[in-house]
Amino acid sequence: MSRARAKTPTGGAVLVTGASSGIGQACALRLDRLGFRVFAGVRQVAAGDALRRAASDRLAPVALDVTDAGSVRSAVDAVTAAVGEAGLAGLAGLVNNAGITVWGPLEFVPLDELWRQFEVSVFGQLAVTQAVLPLLRAGRGRVVNIGSLSGQVALPFYGPYAAAKFAVEALNDALRVELRPWGIRVALIDPGSVATPIWEKTLAAADERMREAPPAMPALYGPAIEGVRRHARRLARASFPPADVARSVGRALTAGRPRARYRVGQSAQTRLLLLLAHLPPRLRDGVIARTLPRYP
Ligand SMILES: NC(=O)c1ccc[n+]([C@@H]2O[C@H](COP(=O)([O-])OP(=O)(O)OC[C@H]3O[C@@H](n4cnc5c(N)ncnc54)[C@H](OP(=O)(O)O)[C@@H]3O)[C@@H](O)[C@H]2O)c1
């Protein structure tokens, strides 16, 4: 079979985390259209109802907070029961998408916020993977992790988010080889900037951070923080649709020979970032520093 040729989806079952909005929602709907039986992980009932209205009656919302061990267990139990009732051997895929963005100058990032970033994007992701692996093994399923360019180059003031996405890269690389003996393929999706609610949430969180910050934070970093916020607003406007990411997720789940990494939505800016990732640190730092307003 050629590398590009796709397997015909067989109505296998997939679990998508963080399916209430953005990339996760687009993935749930795309995979539903491809014929998968989608279990859409959501934290709010209303989000599940909206998905159900937009999809075929195969799609089933599942209550899933990836940071809550009890919620992960209940979700996996519900998926296991439904997969069994449908006469399927196991899961055809897990899409690890749930994520948040914590940012700010590292000098002032509250450690519990850094912890929350890792809890959702790293520990939560691995917790779901661990819980679902028996089902994936039974169904010779695949794991698709949503990474980020921030997992390859850490920009100033995005330190917590980048640290979590670097960790996702590492877990993804290790898992890909560990699971080879069972034929469980692991792919990383690497989106550039995508038009999703994450930007508004990030800016709102930044406003809150500024309100709660000790006076020293705006005094020391004010112009730089404002520059990063302007940059985030620009990126949000110049973003790619989440459907582009969902298409790559569909390919990762259906291609005869899925790639280890899918890059999606590469603008000139994201290509520049990738280039920066490969520059010697001193050169890279100089280029990045020149994009920031002068501070202090
Ligand atoms: N947008 C981009 O430019 C971009 C670029 C590269 C990578 N990514 C990555 O893509 C993924 C999706 O982000 P997005 O842009 O689509 O943002 P989004 O619209 O804000 O979606 C984030 C999703 O994660 C869910 N979530 C948050 N905390 C959770 C938890 N504790 N348990 C379960 N679900 C939780 C949210 O659910 P609630 O609605 O319940 O909060 C929501 O469904 C993230 O991993 C992000 O890092 C995004």
What does the pLDDT look like over 64-112, one tens digit per residue? 999 999 999 999 999 999 999 999 999 999 999 999 999 999 999 999 9
Does 183 or 269 have the greater pLDDT score? 183
* Selected catalytic residue, list 158, 161, 221, 262: 161
Ligand 1 lined by 20 (C-beta under 6 Å): yes
pLDDT tens for each residue of 9-58: 567 999 999 999 999 999 999 999 999 999 999 999 999 999 999 999 99
Cα 269 to ligand 1 centre (Å): 22
Ligand 1 lined by 66 (C-beta under 6 Å): yes
| pLDDT at site 181 | 97
Segment 275-283 shows an average pLDDT of 95
Kindly report the pTM of this predicted structure: 0.96
| pLDDT at site 267 | 85
> Would strands 91-96 and 60-63 be described as parallel, antiparallel, or unpaired?
unpaired
Is the per-residue pLDDT at 131 higher than 60?
Answer: yes
| pLDDT at site 7 | 56
Active site residue 221: no
| pLDDT at site 97 | 98
- Sketch out the chain's domains with CATH numbers: 13-290 (3.40.50.720)
Ligand 1 lined by 48 (C-beta under 6 Å): no
3-state SS, one letter per residue, for 261-282 = EEEECCCHHHHHHHHHHCCCHH
Q: Where residue 237 falls among pLDDT bands split at 50, 70, 90?
A: confident
pLDDT tens for each residue of 140-170: 999 999 999 999 999 999 999 999 999 999 9
| pLDDT at site 228 | 86
Cα 227 to ligand 1 centre (Å): 24
Ligand 1 lined by 195 (C-beta under 6 Å): no
| pLDDT at site 1 | 39
Is the per-residue pLDDT at 8 higher than 50?
Answer: no
Give, using CA atoms, the residue closest to atom 17 of ligand 1: 198
Ligand 1 lined by 249 (C-beta under 6 Å): no
Q: Within a 13 Å sphere around the CA of 208, how many CA atoms are in the beta-carbon half?
A: 11
Cα 97 to ligand 1 centre (Å): 6
Measured from the CA of 100, which atom of ligand 1 is nearest? 27
CB-CB neighbours of 294 under 10 Å: 8
Q: Where residue 4 falls among pLDDT bands split at 50, 70, 90?
A: very low
Q: Where residue 236 falls among pLDDT bands split at 50, 70, 90?
A: confident
b/e code 56-88 from CB counts within 10 Å (16+ = b): eeebbbbebbbbbeebbeebbeebbeebeeeeb
